[in-house]
Amino acid sequence: MLENIRAAANRVTLTERDASGFTATITLTRDEVETILAKMNDARSFISPPQPRERTALGLTKEQQQAIKRVYLRSDGSKPYLSFRRSAKQGYDCVMLPWGGMWLGIETDGYTHS
């Protein structure tokens, strides 16, 4: 927890104490603080939010379609692929697929789990 910030002339002193009582103190010049803040702002400009995955008319991502195909290829093939794919239900932020007496969840990135 940051306990104390002292600013004097061209220096800033930060004091922090952790739960065990250890105290750390750092003193920075004004130029060092400005450099750190500029680097933090530069780093933030490179971080972009994740882009939404493109979905088909049925609401499936390409990765989900590929995952459904992989699950179908592991099945016994008792029903046609189109019928198998249509048995998938849209869940909250994933697709649910009945398979082998259980439900499989397929995330937007194609990760499949039961």
pTM above 0.85, yes or no: no
Contact of 86 with 98, CB cutoff 8 Å: no
Q: What is the pLDDT of residue 5?
A: 61
pLDDT tens digits, one per residue of 33-50: 778 777 777 666 656 666
* Ranges of each domain in the chain: 2-46, 62-113
Q: SS3 of 111, please?
A: coil
Spatial distance between the Cα atoms of 7 and 11, rounded to a whole number of angstroms: 6
pLDDT tens digits, one per residue of 38-95: 777 766 665 666 666 666 656 888 999 999 999 999 988 888 998 898 888 888 788 9
